[in-house]
Amino acid sequence: MLNMITISCLPFSPSDWIQLFALAVVAVYTTLTYLLWRDQRRQFQLAQRPWVYPGDVTFHNDPKKPELAVLLYNFGKLPAFCNINVSTIDIKPFPDQPEQVHLISEKETRHLAIFPYIPEVDTVFMFLLPLTEEQRLLLIDGCRLDMTIDITYKDLTNPKEKYAYSYSATLEVHQFKAEAGKQATLIRDARAN
């Protein structure tokens, strides 16, 4: 009889305790499910976003229209709208000497849509930098070329989105070849977001 009295004095009956335990299990399960779905959504967005990177520097040694170009790739799954800025191009005519020639004196930002890269299809984009005849003559065999490039971009399918992504790097051509179009390019000091 004493046993029954103590059980009846508890604030909850045993069936209430089972219901509270089941409610706690449901709350934990719901919280974990929400966290997993949120993480999966974030991973999906990262997998689908555009990923824009510069590639090699090319040189078009045409006396009438000389140009430097940077090849741009989008390795993401969505097209990107980019703001591209080449802030400096420095040339060391003789790599052993410290003097440099600066080709760009002010920043110029250009806007470009870049679509996803597809192997064996011409989906590489060029950022063209026209040169003067004097600048073309500076690009001689053996010179060193350093180019600083900044790219901010966003998903082209979402026009209201701000420029959420960025990439900046210094492109270096250590042994420039005036007759070769595509130059062997090293990417230094890269920062991506």
List, in order, residues 6 or more apart from 135 with CB less than 8 Å away: 66, 103
Q: Count of CB atoms within 10 A of residue 135's CB? A: 17
pLDDT digits (tens, 9 = 90+) for 97-127: 666 777 765 667 888 889 998 888 777 888 8
Q: What pTM value is reported for the model? A: 0.71
Digit-coded pLDDT (tens) for 2-50: 455 455 555 667 788 888 899 999 999 999 999 999 999 888 877 888 8
pLDDT recorded at residue 105:
54
Say if residue 90's pLDDT is above 80. Answer: yes
Residue with tokens 């977001």: 193
